[in-house]
Amino acid sequence: MLGYNFEIVEGSPDSRVILHVPHSATFIPPNVRADILLNDSQLQSELDSMTDTKTEEIARRAAALSEVRPWLFINKYSRLVIDPERFPDEREIMNKVGMGAVYRKTSTGENLRSPDFAGKKELLDTYFHPYAKAITDLVSQRLNSAGKVVILDIHSYRPEQHVNAVNHGQKRPAMCIGTDSFHTSTELKNLGIQCFAPMGDVYENEPYAGTYVPLKHYGVDTFVQAMMMETRADTFLDEKLEFHAGSKTVIDCLSSLIVGAQLLK
């Protein structure tokens, strides 16, 4: 099902696993582009820096290898439109650097939108809230059908830290798994470490911490499990942001995690 700014790819009827791909797209609608201060060259550079390039393709290829197909929920618009993984209010830590649910700053700290930009509510109402409702509904549907849900939150990150960040000085391993004390069981965490071990060093919550869970279920429902996959981009992309041979390892590792997550008790 293709929504306004998202796509849901149907999985097997008994699948517990949802792959969430929030940051892979680069599309920005013209009406949203009009309020972005960067020229086309600057915008392309920002997209190259901020997009989790080819993570949608990684998710689709890994899903295709699984006998019990996971469901996919894919953001089809750039995170520069809205970032669906941010809190839409004062709880969001990235607000302090101007990169909350609606970005005001770029990865280098320059103005992305005007300091007096007044369109935040419209962007949230048009793109953020419908997206959040749709993934909440999908999680609830899968919970009712399969009795348990495992959300695997698919990301990548660049080898060099962005200037405009809140986590400077942390390690940048081949794989970071983001966990939550309530929604990531020890079994799921250990499964992630085991499945991603062929990639090299695997760290928990460094340099990125936590994982995505819809607010309706967040901190409430232990039958909604979740873990974030943050792959360092040079493990699978070359300098032109195209796949190199390492992409097969990443895809195979994610496929193993999908299979294992389906079998978790």
Residue 200's contacts (CB-CB under 8 Å, 6 or more residues apart) are 173, 174, 175, 235
The predicted structure's pLDDT at residue 91: 87
- For residue 155, give both structure tokens: 């990301």
Which tens digit of pLDDT belongs to each residue from 202-241?
999 999 999 999 999 999 999 999 999 999 999 999 999 9
**How many C-beta atoms lie closer than 10 Å to residue 200's C-beta?**
13
Q: Show me where the domains of the chain are located.
A: 6-263
- For residue 23, give both structure tokens: 């940051």
Cα separation, 14 vs 65, whole angstroms? 16
Which tens digit of pLDDT belongs to each residue from 23-54?
999 999 999 999 999 999 999 999 999 999 99
The predicted structure's pLDDT at residue 170: 81
pTM: 0.95
What's the CATH superfamily of 6-263? Zn-dependent exopeptidases (3.40.630.40)
Which tens digit of pLDDT belongs to each residue from 65-104?
999 999 999 999 999 999 999 988 888 888 888 899 999 9
- The DSSP secondary-structure symbol of 170 reads -
The predicted structure's pLDDT at residue 15: 97
Cα separation, 105 vs 97, whole angstroms? 7
The predicted structure's pLDDT at residue 122: 96
- Supply angle C-alpha 154, 179, 155, rounded to 5: 15
Which tens digit of pLDDT belongs to each residue from 117-137?
999 999 999 999 999 999 999
- Please tell me whether residue 148 adopts helix, strand or coil conformation: coil
